[in-house]
Structure 1
Amino acid sequence: MTATTVHPPEPLEPATLSLAREATARATRHLLDRQDEQGWWKGDLETNVTMDAEDLMLRQFLSIQDPATLEAAARHLRSEQREDGTWATFHGGPPELSATIEAYVGLRLAGDRPDAPHMAAASAWVRERGGIAGSRVFTRIWLALFGWWKWEDLPELPPEIIYLPKWLPLNIYDFGCWARQTIVPLTVVSAKRPVRPAPFPLDELHIDPRRPNPRRPARLASWDGAFQRLDRALHAYHKVAVRPLRRAALRSCARWIVERQENDGCWGGIQPPAVYSLIALHLLGYDLDHPVMRAGLASLDRFAVWREDGSRMVEACQSPVWDTCLATIALADAGLAPDHPALVKAADWMLDEQVTRPGDWSVRRPGLPSGGWAFEFHNDNYPDTDDTAEVILALRRVRHPDPERVEAAVRRGTRWTLGMQSSDGAWGAFDVDNTSRLPNRLPFCDFGEVIDPPSADVTAHVVEMLAHEGRAQDPATRRGVAWLLAEQEADGSWFGRWGTNYVYGTGSVVPALVAAGVPGSHPAIRRAVRWLESVQNEDGGWGEDQRSYPDRQWAGRGASTASQTAWALLALLAAGERESKAVERGVTWLAETQEDDGSWDEPYFTGTGFPWDFSINYHLYRQVFPVTALGRYVNGEPAVARPRRS
C-alpha cells in the first residue's frame, strides 16, 4: 500500500479578523462607488440652520428671493425644529438661542404665521431666554439690516482697521483667516448701517423692543472692561470719523475683498464670508449685474444641497480635497492596489489642486514659496497645513505613472509646510504664530474662535507626514514631537481642535508619535492607551459629545459613532494593541453596525469648525475613517512610499 501524507488542517481565521475582512470589502466597494468621475470624493458638510436662515435673509436684503428656494429652505428649517419649538447647533445638542431666532425669521420669510403652533412655541422659548437682546452679535447684525435691532446697540468695528500695520495689535492679520474674511466686509456694513424695510415686525421675539438688555459694565481693570470702553470710544468715533479717511478706508476694504474673490466667485471657499462680502460690495455701489456680484451670487448656489424630499440645505463649506485625500488613504490602507485606477485618478485630481501662488499666509512668511493644498474646490488664498500633510500622505500611497510629477509636488508641499511652523515648534492650520488673544476679547467677536493657534491634531498630521518623508530626525520634526508630548492632558488624551474632541486629538497624535519613532512603550503612549480603554463604551465603540469643549466631564463620553470608534482604533493599533480586547471589541462594533450597502449611519456631529460654537457633521467621515481603521487592523500599518533620494 502507498503511504498517504496527511497535512494538518489550515488554522481557522479568528472570528474578529474574518468579520473585519468582510466589512472592509463591503465598505471599500461603497467608497469606490462614491468617487466622482473627475477623481474626487465629497460628502455633505452639515452644520446648522443659521446657514439656511442667513441665506434667506441675504436674498431678502438683495431682493432676489424666489419661491422655489424659499419653500425648499423652509422645508429644511421645519425638519430641524425640535418638539419644544427650538433649534440646536448639532444633533442631540441643547437648544440654542441665536439659531432659534434666525430659523424663526427664516420661516417668517417663508410665510409661516407667528401664531402657528410651531412658531408660537419658538417665540415663547426665545422670550423666556431673554429675547433678541440675548443673542449673539451676528444674529443682531442680521436683524439690524431690517430694522429689527438698532445699529447703535451693536458693537462697533470701523473700516479703518484695514490700515492698522501688521505689527500693531488687532490688525486684520491678527485674526484667523475665516474671521479676517468675515470682519473686513462687516466693517463696511457697520459703517454704512443700512436698514431695508422689514417685511413684518418681530415684536414677539423681544421682551421689550424699546429697551435692549445692556451688558453690565465690567471692571475697568479687567480685559472685558477695557474692551467695553474701547467699544464706547469706537461708537463715538463713528459720529466724528473724518469723512475723507472713512471713504478711503471703505475703498481699501472693497479692494481687499475683491482681490480675495476666488476664480469660482466665492471667498475662501466658505459661505459666511461670501454672504457678507456681497452685502458690503452692494452697499459700496456694486450692482447685482456687476461681474463680481454675479460670480459671487452664482457661487452661493453651489453651497446648496437639494434633497429628494424637496428640501434645500446650505453647506457652510465644501470639503473635496480633504475628503479625497482621506478616501485615498482609506482605500490604500484597506488593500486596494497602489496603481488602482481610482487611486491614480484621485492622485491626478489632487495634483491639479496644489496651490502655486501666494496667499494671505505670505504676510507672515513673505519669502516662502507656495505649495500647499486647500480644503475646498477653490481657495487659493488660504491653503492649510492640515490638508497639505494628508494630501502628501495620500500621494505616497499611490503608484502614479508619472512619479516625477508626484515628487515635485510633494517637495513643494513639504517645503511650504516646514516654512509654516510656528515659533513654539507646532503648526496652526492656516497661518504662522496666529496666537494673539486680543481679537477674542472684542465685543464684536462673539461668534466663535477668531484666531488660529497651533493645535495638537494639525501638528500631529504634519509630524506624521514629515516622518513618512524620511524627516523623523529633522530638528523641525523633533520640535513638533516635543510640543505634542508637552501638550498631553493629565489623563493621557490630547485636545482635538478640528475634530470632536479628545478622541480625535488622541487618534491623531498617537499614530504621529509612533511614526516619528516614539516607541509604543513610551509613558505618553501608555497613558493614551489607558485613557482610550477607560472611555470605551459598553457596546464596544467610542463616542464623544460636542459638550466636551465647554465641559471637561464630557471628554470621551457620548454615543458610539463610526468615525470616533475608528479614531480610537487608529491610536490603539499604532500603539501595538492589535491583540487587545479593546481593539477586538471596537472592530466588532464597526462590523456589526455596518449597513448592508457597506456604509455606516452617523447622525452625530464629530467635526469641529469652532470648538462648541460651530459643529460639523462630515458625511464622509463615517466612511473613510472606519475603512482606514479596519484596513490597518486587517493589513497592518500602511505601506507608504518613501521619497526617492537623488
Structure 2
Amino acid sequence: MLRYLENHLNEDGGVGLHIEGHSTMFGTVLTYVAMRLLGKAADSPECAKTRKWIIDRGGATQVPSWGKFWLAVLGVYEWHGLNPIPPECWLLPYWLPMHPGRFWCHCRMVYLPMSYLYGIRATGKPTALTAALKSELYAEASYDSINWNTARNACAKEDLYYPHPWIQDVVWSTLMKVEPFLMNSRVRKAACEDAMRQIHYEDENTRYVDIGPVSKVFNMLSCWFEDPDSEAVKKHIPRIADYLWVAEDGMKMQGYNGSQLWDCAFSVQAIVATGLADEYGECLRRAHDYIEKSQVRDDCPDVEKWYRHISKGAWPFSTRDHGWPISDCSSEGLKAALTLASMDEKLVGEAIPVDRLADCVNVILSYQNRGSGGWATYENTRSTKWVELLNPAETFGDIMIDYPYVECSSASLQALCKFSERYPDIRAKDIAHAKKTGRKFLKSIQRADGSWYGSWAVCFTYGTWFGVLGLIATGSTYETCPSLRKAVEFLLSKQQENGGWSESYLSCEKKAYHELRDKDGKPKPHLVNTGWAMLALIASGQQNRDATPLHRAARCMLSQQYENGDFPQQSIMGVFNANCMISYSCYRSIFTLWALGEYCNKVL
C-alpha cells in the first residue's frame, strides 16, 4: 500500500483525484494521513513534501466535504466543521423530490452510512498519532484556534469542480441551527435506527461486498460503531479483499469489486468478431460459464420498501455476489449470451435457457424512462434535475439522480434488437415501442457536431461509438439517416495524421473534445479510442464509401503491437461523474482485437 501511495505522488508533492490528475487537497490529505497510519514518519521525505503541499495551500481545512468527513471519523477534525448530513432525511415522505431514496444509488448508498455516522458522531479513540496529525495537517497556529464555522464551506481551488450554489448555503446554515435540537433526540434515534436497517439490508443483499468501495467501508464502520463484536463486522472484514488489487505499482483499492462481467461480455464479442472462435473454444466455453453463473437469479426482497429496482435475470458489472445489475451490463451480458447461443454447443457449451434471457429483457424494458425514452444506469430516473442543486460533493458532478445516458440507452437498444431477431414473438410489442422511443432519445442528445458525450469512458469517441450502434440497431443507414452521417463526419474529422484517434481525460472534465498529445505537443494515438472509432465507422459501412481511413487506422494499431502479441497500456480511459478517472486495463486488448477482427472480416 505504501509503495502504491508513494509511486503516485506528483512532482509537486501532491496527489491527484486519480493517477493522471493534477494535485488536489482531497487526494493529498488522504494520502498523507494514509501514509502516517501505515507507519511512515512525519519527517520522511515523502511525508514532508506532501505536508508542505497541504500547508502551502491553506491546510486541511481546505479539503472537500468527503475529506472533512474522513478526518472527523478519525478524530482529527471537528464535526461542527462539516455541513450537516442528517439521517432524518430518510424519514421524509417519499413523494418529495429530494427524498434520498430518489437519488442515484451510488450517491444514496454513500450518504446513507455517512448520515448514520454523522448522526451518532462516530469518532475513533484519540491516540498519539491522531494528536500528531492535528498539529501536522493544519496551517493555523494551533488546532484549537481553527474557526470551524468558516472551515465548513472551505474548499481548495484545485478541488472545486462543482461549486456550491447559494441555495446550499441557505440549506446548510438552516440545518446547522436545527442540528443541536436533533442531536440525542428521539427523532435522531429513530432516524439512525432506520439508517442501520437499510445498511444491513444492503450488506446482506450484496454478501457484504456493497455497491462500491466507499460505501463498503462506511457500512463496515457503521456496523462496527453499532456493535464491534457483531456478526455483521465479522462478515464485512473478509470481503475487503474483493476490492484490493496488487500490481507493479503496489496495492490499491479498486473503484468497484472488479469489472468481470463487463470485460467478459465485451471479450466474447471481440473474439467472435475475429472469425477465430473455433480456435478459442475453451476460452469461450469458460466465458460462457461465467456469464451463466453471474446472472442475477432473483429480485431483492421488498424492493420498493428498500428503494431497489427489480433485478431477476439481469447482469451486474462484476460478480453475482455484488448483485447490483445495470442497464448496459445487463445488455452486454445478454448480447454475449445470445452470441454464444447461436454457436455450436459442443464448442461453447449449453445455451442459457430462453426464459432466463426473457427475464433479462423484462429488466431492460423496465429500466427505460417513460418521459425521455432513454436508459439510466441502475434504476429509472426518480427525480428532477434541479435536485442536482443539492449536490454537496464539490469534487464530483451529476451525482444526485440517475440520468439517462447514450451508452446505457444504446446498449439496451442493441440487446433488445438482437433478442427480437432470435425470438421475434417474445415481448414484440414492448420491444418495438422501446426501439421507437429509445431511438428518438438518442437523436435528441446528439451534439450539433455529430458526437455524443461519453459519461463512462473517455469520451466522445466512446459515446459516439454507442450512438452510432444504437442508431444502426434501430434501423439507420448512412444513406437514410442524417444523424448517422453527422456522427461519421465527426469521427473522420478527428482522425490524426498517424491514422489513429485519441482523447485526453480533459474531454470528460471540460465536456469538449481534447486531443491526447505527447510531451512535445504532438497528437498521440490511443489504441482504445482508435478501436471505438474504427468499430463505429465499420458498422456505418465506411469500407463501402472510402476504406482509406480504416486502412490507416489499422496500420496505426498494428505498429504499436509488441512482439509477444500484446499492446501497450496507455493513458487512462475510464471515468465516472465527469471528474474521476478509472483504469480499464483489459480495454487495450479487447477493443484493439475487436476492431482488427471487424477490419479483417468486413474491410479486407
2:397 is the alignment partner of 1:458: no
Q: Which runs of 5 or more residues in structure 1 are unaligned?
A: 1-72, 638-646
Is it true that 1:498 corresponds to 2:456 in the alignment? yes
8 A contact 1:541–1:560 mirrored in 2: yes
Q: Which amino acid aligns with 1:179?
A: C
Which residue, out of 271, 276, 279, partners 1:336?
Answer: 276
Give the residue type in structure 2 aligned to 1:457: E
Is contact 1:87-1:103 (8 Å) kept? yes
Identity of aligned residues (%): 24
**Residue identity matched to 1:513:** L
Q: What is residue 597 of structure 1 aligned with on the other side?
A: 564
CA–CA separation in structure 2 for the residues paired with 1:417 and 1:407:
15
1:183 Cα shift? 0.9
2:363 equivalent to 1:427: no
Q: Structure 2 vs 1, CA of residues 555 and 435 (structure 1 numbering), >3 Å: closer, same or farther?
A: farther
Separation in 1, partners of 2:404, 2:494 = 26
Q: Kindly provide the CA deviation profile for residues 544-573 of structure 1, in whole angstroms up to 9, marking residues without a partner as x.
A: 111112324444555422211111111111
Note the C-alpha offset of 1:461: 0.9
CA distance in 1, matches of 2:287, 2:154: 55
- 1:291, CA displacement in angstroms? 2.1
Partner of 2:138: 206
Q: How does 1:163-242 map to 2 (within 5 A)?
A: 163-196=91-124, 197-198=126-127, 199=129, 200-208=132-140, 209=143, 210-212=146-148, 213-214=150-151, 215=153, 224-241=165-182
- The residue that corresponds to 1:40 in the other structure is none
User: What SS does structure 2 have at the residue aligned with 1:537?
Assistant: coil
In 1, distance between residues paired with 2:95 and 2:39? 50
Alpha-carbon deviations, 1:162-215, whole Å to 9, x = none? 222321122122211111111111001111223321512243432325135444
| 3-state SS of 1:113 partner | coil
Q: Is the 8 A contact 1:185 1:276 kept in 2?
A: yes
Cα distance change, pair 435–456 in 1 and its aligned pair in 2 (3 A): farther
AA partner of residue 312 (structure 1): M
| Equivalent residue in structure 2 for 1:563, among 513, 520, 528 | 528
Q: What amino acid is aligned across from residue 460 of structure 2 in structure 1? A: Y
Provide Cα deviations, 1:266-293, integer angstroms capped at 9, x if missing partner. 3434211110001112222x21x42211
Letter in 1 for 2:137: L
Q: Corresponding residue for 1:383?
A: 325
How far did 1:91 drift? 4.4
Contact 1:566–1:626 (CA under 8 A) maintained in structure 2: yes
2:255 touches 2:582 (CA, 8 Å); kept in 1?
no
Task: Using structure 1 for the length normalisation, give the TM-score.
Answer: 0.81
Task: State the SS of the aligned residue for 2:133.
Answer: coil
Q: 2:56 & 2:39 partners in 1: Cα distance?
A: 24
CA RMSD of aligned residues (A): 2.7
Give the Å deviation of 1:130: 3.0
Q: Could you say which residue in structure 1 is the equivalent of 2:54? A: 126
Q: How far 1:81 moved relative to its partner?
A: 1.0
CA spacing shift, 1:400–1:373, aligned 2, 3 Å: farther
Match of 2:578 among 572, 594, 611: 611
AA matched with 2:411:
H
Name which of 275, 282, 305 aligns with 2:245: 305
8 Å Cα contact 1:360-1:381 kept in structure 2:
no
Q: Does 1:363 align with 2:328?
A: no
Q: Distance in 2 between matches of 1:453 and 1:171?
A: 16
Which residue number corresponds to residue 572 of structure 1? 537
Q: Which stretch of the first structure deviates more once superposed, 289-298 or 548-557?
A: 548-557
> Once the 2 structures are TM-superposed, how far is the Cα of residue 575 of structure 1 from its aligned partner?
1.3
Give the Cα–Cα distance (whole angstroms) in 1 for the partners of residues 225 and 392 of structure 2.
Answer: 20
Partner of 1:523: 482
The one-letter amino acid paired with 1:456 is: V
- Measure how far apart 1:306 and its partner are: 2.7
Three-state SS of the structure 1 residue aligned to 2:74 is coil
Displacement after TM superposition at 1:326 (Å): 0.9
SS at match of 1:306: strand
Which residues of 2 match residues 53-452 of structure 1 at below 5 A? Answer: 73-196=1-124, 197-198=126-127, 199=129, 200-208=132-140, 209=143, 210-212=146-148, 213-214=150-151, 215=153, 224-241=165-182, 243-262=185-204, 265-284=207-226, 286-287=227-228, 289-307=229-247, 311-317=250-256, 318-337=258-277, 340-359=281-300, 362-363=303-304, 370-379=312-321, 382-398=324-340, 399=343, 401=345, 405-423=352-370, 424-442=372-390, 444-448=392-396, 449-450=398-399, 451-452=401-402
1:586: how far off? 1.4
Deviations 1:308-357 (A, max 9, x none): 67x32221211111111111111111113379232233222212222132
**1:354–1:606 distance in 2 versus 1, CA, 3 Å:** same
Per mean C-alpha deviation after superposition, the further-off stretch among 228-237 and 321-330 is 228-237
State the Cα distance separating 1:502 from its structure 2 match.
0.9
Is 1:534 the counterpart of 2:493? The answer is yes
The 2-side partners of 1:413 and 1:125 are apart by: 50
Q: Partners in 2 of 1:359 and 1:565 — Cα distance?
A: 40
Letter in 1 for 2:359: R
Amino acid at match of 1:594: Q
Query: d(CA) in 2 for partners of 1:321 and 1:420?
Result: 19
How far did 1:384 drift?
0.7
Which stretch of structure 1 is more off in the superposition, 516-525 or 136-145?
A: 516-525
Shift of 1:160: 1.6
Partner amino acid, structure 2, of 1:155: N
CA distance in 2, matches of 1:273, 1:366: 16
Q: Deviations over 1:116-170 (max 9, x none)?
A: 3332322222233332222211111111123322110101121122222321122
Partner of 1:511: 469
Q: Are the aligned partners of 1:90 and 1:604 in contact in 2 as well (CA < 8 Å)?
A: no
Would you say the 8 A contact 1:157–1:444 is kept in 2?
Answer: no
1:64 is aligned to none
Write out per-residue CA displacement over residues 344-373 of structure 1, whole angstroms, 9 at most, x where no aligned residue.
Answer: 332222122221322499539999673211
Q: Secondary structure at the match of 1:356?
A: coil
Q: Deviations over 1:563-621 (max 9, x none)?
A: 11111111111111134322212111111111222222224111112211x21111111
CA gap 1:601/1:369 in 2 versus in 1, 3 angstroms: closer
- Tell me the amino acid that sits aligned with residue 529 of structure 1: V
Give the partner amino acid of 1:548: S
- Aligned pair 1:623/2:589, yes or no? yes
Q: Specify the code of the residue in structure 2 equivalent to 1:355.
A: V
Task: Return 260-269 or 377-386, whichever deviates more.
Answer: 260-269
Deviations 1:53-102 (A, max 9, x none): xxxxxxxxxxxxxxxxxxxx111100111222122233443222210111
Tell me by how many angstroms 1:412 deviates: 1.1
Distance in 2 (alpha carbons) for counterparts of 1:369 and 1:153? 40
- The match for 1:18 is none
CA contact (8 A) 1:156 1:444 kept: no
Matches within 5 A, 1:39-50: none
Higher relative contact order (Cα pairs below 8 Å, separated by 6+ residues):
1
Q: 2:387 & 2:8 partners in 1: Cα distance?
A: 33
